[in-house]
Amino acid sequence: LETRVGSIVGASGCFYGIRARIYDSSFPEELSRDFASALMARANGLRAVSVDDAMCFVPRAGALRAEFRRKIRTMARGLETLWHWRRMMNPFRYGAFALMLISHKLCRWLVYLFLPLASAGVAMLASGSRIGMLLAATTLGGLIAGTLAWYRAQRAEEVSRVVAVAGFALASVIAGVLAWVKVLRRQRSPIWEPTRRTVSGET
């Protein structure tokens, strides 16, 4: 859909290409080059597009802990990259691309920054509302299931699909919060190592 509107706002690190003439060899190592490739293209008057015929099968990470570390690193580098190219979020200059960048990247990441306030809000709502109590109970249940999945993952024990999803969700949320902490503390991630993945039947 982004391609139809004009340009995608980020590329997948596992499978993307960029024109040689806009490739920047001096690109800061602590930033995300795949995400920035779409920004470089737009800054040079080009489009970054998603091609349906180009397919790439990526095995899932072998361990929840590895996926957790990857998410922290990916989001922290993404935030640093967005700040480096913050001028691209000017809708008066970059139009729809800027609006997509704000909504598809910044707003999605801001959820984790304001999560502590949201949690406090749910707790306050639960004290005088049935809906709030339901939200609080659902959140608590998810936390318990996610913690169980994390614990069993460390012990290499099998879990049900529901518990596994809860574990993945909890790891994603905590990783998002820690990524913000890392960025706000100005802790850079200049060294990148691909997530080690094992070939499996799932993609």
Could you read off the pLDDT of 96-129 as tens digits, one per residue? Answer: 999 999 999 999 999 999 988 888 888 888 888 8
Least confident of 4-8, 19-23, 66-70: 66-70
The mean pLDDT value of the chain amounts to 83
Predicted local distance difference test score (pLDDT) of residue 203: 42
Burial of residue 193 (number of CB atoms within 10 Å: 0-12, 13-18, 19+):
exposed
What are the residues whose beta carbons fall under 8 Å from the beta carbon of 50, sequence distance 6 or more?
A: 2, 3, 8
pLDDT for the residue 200? 47
Entry pTM: 0.79
pLDDT confidence band for 61 (50 / 70 / 90): low
Lowest-confidence segment of 2-6, 24-28, 89-93, 142-146 by average pLDDT? 24-28
Q: What sign results for the dihedral spanned by CA atoms 84, 74, 2, 56? A: positive
pLDDT the model gives residue 202: 47
Section 4-22 average pLDDT: 84
Predicted local distance difference test score (pLDDT) of residue 194 = 55
Neighbours of 135 (CB within 10 A): 16
Q: Is pLDDT of 196 > 70?
A: no
Top-confidence residue, 175 or 156? 175
Q: What percent of the chain has pLDDT over 70?
A: 88
Closest listed residue to residue 45, CA positions, set 86, 89, 90, 6: 6
pLDDT digits (tens, 9 = 90+) for 144-157: 888 888 777 766 66
Structure confidence by residue, pLDDT tens digits, 36-53: 999 999 999 999 998 888
Cα separation, 36 vs 30, in Å, equals 12
Q: How many whole angstroms separate alpha carbon 164 and alpha carbon 96?
A: 37
Mean pLDDT for 4-14 is 84
**CA dihedral over 125, 130, 133, 134, signed as positive or negative:** negative
